[in-house]
Chain A
Amino acid sequence: MSYTELRAGFIPLVDAAPLIVAKELGFAEEEGLTLTLRRAPSWSTLRDMLVLGQIEAAHMLAPLPVAMGLGLGGMARRIDVLAVTSTNGNVIGVSTAVAHALRDAHAPLEFGNALTAGRALIGLGRPLRIGVPFPFSMHAELLHYWLAALGMPATQSLDIRTVPPPLMAAAIAAHEIDAFCVGEPWGSIAVDTGVGELLLPTSAIRSSAPEKVLAVRQGWADAEPRLAGRLMRAVWRACRWLGNASNRITTAEILRQPAYLGVSAEIIDRALSGRLVTRSDGLEQDVPGFMDFFGPGATFPWKSQAAWIGGQLAARTGTDRAMAISAARDVFRTDLYRRHLRDTGAEFPLADDKIEGAVAAPTAVPAITGTMILSPDRFFDGRIFGPSAEI
């Protein structure tokens, strides 16, 4: 069998695991692919590498391709989303000073309660500077959603600014930011360096938020259907493998290598197991579903997910809402997912849309083969969003 080389880029994060596992455990090889992985120093550089043809595929923040579809950001090109590769997995933390202020002003803070934590933060009555990895990220979307839903006047007192994850702990230490929302391992590293405390996993704001996606240049998957199919199947199988809890230790061992994350397996395992150390004195919290790679409907690139992101971005940037939603929907390629994963055993919903935020408990929905069970998906304030507009 002859192998075709395919280049894919990633950012050193725990949720880059699907591409890394696809290569390391031979899922790519099984599809006749030699996957060459390139680590990128920043999201904008990863995007440019993809758009300008230095790589064929990338692990990407779900809102980034949607923002590009809306014409936002530094690179005026389009990319396609082939699958969702992870759900949730970010943490919100505050500086030690803010943590003390919260404790002085309120009763003991309950970790993981979006309502009380948000009210307590707003109750401090001071402007908040919050670091996020990128302006177009689920981190930024969920922070805006969370604090706006609790009535924080967005423009005057909320300053959500970009801080590269490796510099997040330093930015907190230097008082450049008061809080952060970041993907693992960087939140845990802020805790371990003693500069911050964790307040919430982002799953407390929305229980099933699409986090990272498999992205390719617009048109590439249509021009190279066989290659795209092989890549999609390899990554999907890697996600399925990652969804098996007994593979956790192996995963941490693979990811900790210097070429990938280069941090200790113990820190990586916190995210994979959902057992977070939230304070530098070692306090541990269990977060079921902290970061998920697999589940029924979890890897499917629902058009309604793209529409939700598009709607939020439109509201924030003053873009026309209907146009933004329509452009966003085009970015998530359910057609390619249905075509290329047909023979893998993947489940397909009948519809390309679901009501976002409407699944309170595991729910059966019509699928190509009978039914499939969707995992719970709720916003902390109980709002729901229809396929193309807010309900």
Chain B
Amino acid sequence: MPNTLSIVIIEKECARAQLIVEALSAEASYHVQVISDFTGLRESIAACNPDVVLIDLTNPSRDILEELTMASSPLERPVAMFVDQSETMLTQQAVDAGVSAYVVNGLQPDRIRPVLDAAIARFHLFHRLRAELDATKRALEERKVIDRAKAILIRSRNMTEDDAYALLRKTAMDKGRRIADVAEALITAASMLR
């Protein structure tokens, strides 16, 4: 039975941190901590004394971890990014997913692999969830704009709602633009003519 692996996740977004924690906590031999406040990051990491640090690649604070790769760090346990020559594919997958792992030198690659696999899967899942959420928000936003444009047409040209929508759609098709864009333009123009 290997010793408990101490994992630190540096992540501002609660939802994503939670996803990774859930995935890793299922494993009894992992001790998982989350740092979401980046002030004094070096000290916070040193206090956790981790074996593995997982960090989002879009986080500018990632450069602070580079400092820990030099032996004179306060951690005084040299760390390296996980790029074993034999594990290039895994590193590539991690970078594609947007996560990076720093491990304390001497940790066996077979112990980090399942951690990274889980993190990669969760990062992908998170991206997908966020993309869906964004798409839904955008659709809602566009519907509101189209409704306002319809209201303008109904008022100013005495149209029925169906005719107003048909006119927006026809104009969009003729101009090769999206209905939401045409609606947006109409609202802007109407506000200037008011």
Partner-B contacts on A (CB < 8 A): 41-45, 48-49, 52-54, 72-77, 133-136, 161-167, 170-171, 174, 176, 317
Chain A residue nearest in CB terms to B58: A41
| Interchain CB contact (< 8 A) of B60 among A49, A167, A317 | A167
Q: Is the CB of B80 within 8 A of A41?
A: no
Query: Which of chain A's residues have a CB closer than 8 A to the CB of B80?
Result: 74, 76
B91 cross-chain contacts in A, Cβ below 8 A: 52
Chief secondary structure at chain A's binding surface: loop
On whether A44 and B63 interact (CB within 8 A), knowing A76-B83, A176-B39, A176-B40, the answer reads yes
On whether the beta carbons of B63 and A134 are closer than 8 Å, the reply is: yes
Q: Roughly how many angstroms separate A43 CA and B60 CA in the complex, as a whole number?
A: 8
Interface residues of B in 13-63 (CB under 8 A from A): 38-40, 42, 57-63
Known: A74-B69, A75-B83, A76-B83. A45 touches B62 (CB 8 A): yes
Q: Verify if B92 is at the interface (C-beta below 8 Å from A).
A: yes
How far apart are the CA atoms of A133 and B69 in the complex, in Å? 15
A189 and B66 alpha carbons, distance in the complex (Å): 25
What B residues does A72 contact at CB under 8 A?
Answer: 69-70
B66–A44 contact, CB under 8 A?
A: yes
Which residue of B has the minimal Cβ distance to A164?
B60
Interface residue B81 (Cβ < 8 Å from any Cβ of A): yes
Given contacts A74-B83, A171-B39, 17 further A-B contacts (CB under 8 A): A41-B59, A44-B62, A44-B100, A45-B57, A53-B92, A54-B95, A73-B66, A74-B81, A75-B81, A76-B85, A134-B66, A161-B42, A161-B67, A166-B60, A167-B38, A317-B71, A317-B72
Enumerate chain B residues within 8 angstroms of A176, measured Cβ to Cβ.
Answer: 39-40
Could you tell me the distance between the alpha carbons of A135 and B67 in the complex, rounded to whole angstroms? Answer: 6
Residues of A within 8 A of B70 (CB): 72, 135, 317
Task: Name A48's contact: one of B42, B67, B100 (CB within 8 Å).
Answer: B100
- Is B65 interfacial (CB 8 A cutoff)? yes
- Residues of B bordering A, CB below 8 Å: 38-40, 42, 57-67, 69-72, 79-81, 83, 85, 91-92, 95, 100, 102
A41 touches B57 (CB 8 A): yes
A74 touches B95 (CB 8 A): no
Q: A162-B66, A176-B40 are in contact. Are A74 and B60 (CB under 8 A)?
A: no
For B60, list chain A residues within 8 Å (CB): 41-42, 164-167
Q: How far is the CB of B173 from chain A (nearest CB, A)?
A: 30
Taking a contact as CB atoms under 8 Å apart, the answer to whether A133 and B63 are in contact is: yes
Q: Is the CB of B65 within 8 A of A44?
A: yes
CA distance A317 to B73 in the complex (A): 11
Known: A48-B95, A72-B69. A43 touches B39 (CB 8 A): no
A169 to chain B, nearest CB (A): 13
**B contact residues around A136 at 8 Å (CB):** 66
* A190: min CB distance to chain B, Å: 16
Contact of A41 among B38, B62, B66 (CB under 8 A): B62
- Chain B residues whose CB sits within 8 angstroms of the CB of A134 once the complex forms: 63, 66
* CA–CA, A174 and B37, complex, Å: 13
Contact B39 A164 (CB under 8 A): no
Other-chain contact of B64, A48, A54, A164, A317 (Cβ < 8 Å): A164
State how many angstroms separate the Cβ of A127 from the closest Cβ of chain B: 14
Q: Could you tell me the distance in whole angstroms from the C-beta of B177 to the nearest C-beta in chain A?
A: 22
**A74-B81, A161-B42, A167-B38 given; A48·B63 CB < 8 A:** no
Which B residues are in CB contact (< 8 Å) with A75?
81, 83
Per the bound structure, the CA–CA distance linking A41 and B12 in Å amounts to 15
Interchain residue pairs with CB less than 8 A apart (5): A45-B57, A49-B95, A52-B91, A73-B69, A74-B81
CA distance A167 to B42 in the complex (A): 14
A163 to chain B, nearest CB (A): 7
Please, how many angstroms separate the alpha-carbon atoms of A161 and B41 in the complex?
11
In this complex, the member of A48, A53, A170, A171 whose beta carbon has the largest number of chain B beta carbons within 10 angstroms is A48
With most chain B CB atoms within 10 A of its CB, the pick from A49, A52, A170 is A52
| Minimum Cβ distance to chain A for residue B42 (Å) | 7
The 10 tightest CB contacts between A and B, nearest first, are A74-B81, A164-B60, A42-B63, A162-B67, A42-B62, A74-B69, A135-B67, A162-B64, A41-B58, A42-B60
A13 to chain B, nearest CB (A): 13
CA distance A53 to B91 in the complex (A): 12
Q: A residues within 8 A CB of B58?
A: 41, 45
Nearest B residue to A165 via CB reads B60
Name, among B39, B63, B71, B91, the residue most crowded by chain A CB atoms within 10 Å (CB to CB).
Answer: B63
Contacts of A161 in B (CB 8 A): 42, 64, 67
| Whole-angstrom CA separation of A171 from B41 in the bound complex | 11
- Report B186 CB to chain A, min CB distance, Å: 26
Q: How far is the CB of A377 from chain B (nearest CB, A)?
A: 28
Residue of B nearest to A174 (CB): B39
Beyond A76-B83, A176-B40, whether A48 also contacts B57 by CB under 8 A is yes
Tell me how far the C-beta of B65 lies from the nearest C-beta in chain A, rounded to whole angstroms.
Answer: 7
Q: How far is the CB of B68 from chain A (nearest CB, A)?
A: 9
Q: Which residues of B contact A165 (CB under 8 A)?
A: 60
Which of B65, B72, B85 sits near A74, CB closer than 8 Å?
A: B65
Q: Once the chains are docked, how many angstroms separate the CA of A49 from the CA of B95? A: 8
Task: Report the bound CA distance from A170 to B42 in whole Å.
Answer: 16
Alpha-carbon distance between A43 and B81 when the two chains are bound, in angstroms: 14
